[in-house]
Structure 1
Amino acid sequence: MFRYLLLIAMALITSNVAEAQKVLSEGTIVYDITVQTGSKEPQLADMFDGVTTTIYLKGSQSRTEMISPLGSTITFQDARNNTGAVLKEYGNQKLLIHMTRQDWADLNKKYAGITFTPQNETKTIAGYKCQKAVARLKDGTTFTVFYTKELMTENKDYDYQFKSLPGLPLEYESAVGDLKVKYTASKIAFDPVPVQKFSIPVSGYRELTYQESIKLKRN
């Protein structure tokens, strides 16, 4: 009898968790970006303040836009075959970088083996209760992330660094050179996303392979 009651209790708990957790299979997430720097050129950080990153999701497809006064980077990825492209527009330079499964793996290799250690601190972001976690990379680098268990995405591959996070990241840190960048979710919408959002341009860009883009960056 005790075992029977225990099974019922576990089923009820599982049911309540499933009901409380929404799945974002299609919609939009907007992150506000703030930058801090200890350099002698604070205007560089000021230039990025107020910039946003927008993520569009539709099934296995994702589009991530980061647009700043300096230019824009738009990333397309299809989780079904793990292929896609990256568009970069800075000044007169317009690049279309084709990405294969192996290219994504190389681009995200620093996040391989990342671990997340939950902390006791919580706060509400964009209407969702979030828990703090400390992320640790294999090189020992750490950063802070606040994530919610109330919302999950159907596509877990849209952001490789958070693929193993047990929830949706709504605030996290990133380092870009001497700059410390913070992403904070300001809007989460479940509205349909037009399929055209995931169409990769076929003209107007200089097309490169991922390896060619690496060589270009080094030159």
Structure 2
Amino acid sequence: MQKALLTLVCCLLISSSLFAQRLVSDAKIVYSIEHPPQTEPSFEGGTLTQYMKGHLSRVDIDFKNVHYSYLINSKQESVVTLINNHGDKYLIRAGKEEYTKELKEYTQVQFKDAGETKQIAGYNCKKAIGKMADGQTFEVYYTADLIPENKQYNRRFINLKGIPLQFEIINKSGSKMKVVATKVDLYAVPGSYFDVPKTGYKEISREELQKMGS
């Protein structure tokens, strides 16, 4: 009798844990971007918005004068970058070869739980430390209550056991920006959000973009 009762309790605990988790196909998550001191005024008060829809995802990064959009198609293994810099609009395509190369780099990122927890945007989150292939580390708080259906919606977190609601982005200079979720919406995101514009943008290569910035 006791053995049967123990088995029942274990089953209830497991089913309760599974029920708490939600497989996410469609979502919109809005994050605020917190910059380190001595940041240029034009980059203060930025936002990052993550959209998901099946094998499609989109990241919008908004600053005062510059807007970036990344349209990711994990089925076609492609990324389209849109840049609006003071009204100058550029479009950059990355095909399967480049997509696969970057995916391989991100799969080397390992996450280790750090034991701390906190609530963010209404969700219980666990702290983890991400370690990159070059040895650099960054903090992330993720919720195990939300599991992305498409693990490649944001390849940076392909090995994470949930959806990140706070994380650090390491800049080329080595400084870190903190990104914190302020709102999580789980609804059917319109497919048009992931359409690549046919007009209004000048298509250039990454090399051309680098020359423009030099």
Q: TM-score, normalised by structure 1?
A: 0.86
Q: Deviations over 1:20-76 (max 9, x none)?
A: 012221120111100004xxxx250x4323211111111111111011113111111
Question: Which of 183, 186, 189 is residue 182 of structure 2 equivalent to?
Answer: 186
Q: Which amino acid aligns with 1:120?
A: G
RMSD: 2.3
Determine if contact 2:107/2:159 at 8 Å carries over to the other structure: no
**SS state of the match for residue 36, structure 2?**
strand
2:190 is the alignment partner of 1:197: no
Q: Distance in 2 between matches of 1:28 and 1:48?
A: 22
Question: Which of 147, 163, 171 is residue 176 of structure 1 equivalent to?
Answer: 171
Question: Which of 69, 76, 80 is residue 81 of structure 1 equivalent to?
Answer: 76
Structure 2 counterparts to residues 105-124 of structure 1, below 5 A: 105-107=100-102, 110-124=105-119
Q: Which amino acid aligns with 2:109?
A: I
Moved more, 176-185 or 102-111: 102-111
Deviation at 1:146, TM superposition (A): 0.7
Q: Distance in 2 between matches of 1:135 and 1:77?
A: 22
Question: Which of 131, 134, 149 is residue 136 of structure 1 equivalent to?
Answer: 131
Q: Distance in 1 between matches of 2:61 and 2:34?
A: 13
Deviation at 1:5, TM superposition (A): 7.4
Deviation at 1:2, TM superposition (A): 9.5
Determine if contact 1:77/1:84 at 8 Å carries over to the other structure: yes
Deviation at 1:127, TM superposition (A): 0.7
Moved more, 132-141 or 94-103: 94-103
Q: Which amino acid aligns with 2:209?
A: L
Determine if contact 1:33/1:48 at 8 Å carries over to the other structure: no
Moved more, 160-169 or 103-112: 103-112
Q: Distance in 2 between matches of 1:48 and 1:114?
A: 27
Report what 1:18 is aligned to.
18
Structure 2 counterparts to residues 130-169 of structure 1, below 5 A: 130-169=125-164
**SS state of the match for residue 36, structure 1?**
coil
Q: Distance in 1 between matches of 2:165 and 2:22?
A: 15
Structure 2 counterparts to residues 1-16 of structure 1, below 5 A: 11-16=11-16
Determine if contact 2:117/2:126 at 8 Å carries over to the other structure: yes
- CA separation of 1:163 and 1:7: change in aligned 2, threshold 3 A: farther
**SS state of the match for residue 80, structure 1?**
coil
Q: Distance in 1 between matches of 2:21 and 2:159?
A: 17
Question: What stretches of structure 1 move > 4 A for 4+ residues in a row?
Answer: 1-11, 107-110
Alignment gaps of 5+ in structure 1? none
Q: Which amino acid aligns with 1:206?
A: K
**SS state of the match for residue 120, structure 1?**
strand
Q: Distance in 1 between matches of 2:170 and 2:63?
A: 17
**SS state of the match for residue 150, structure 2?**
coil
Q: Which amino acid aligns with 2:167?
A: Y
Question: Which of 206, 210, 213 is residue 213 of structure 1 equivalent to?
Answer: 206
Q: TM-score, normalised by structure 2?
A: 0.88
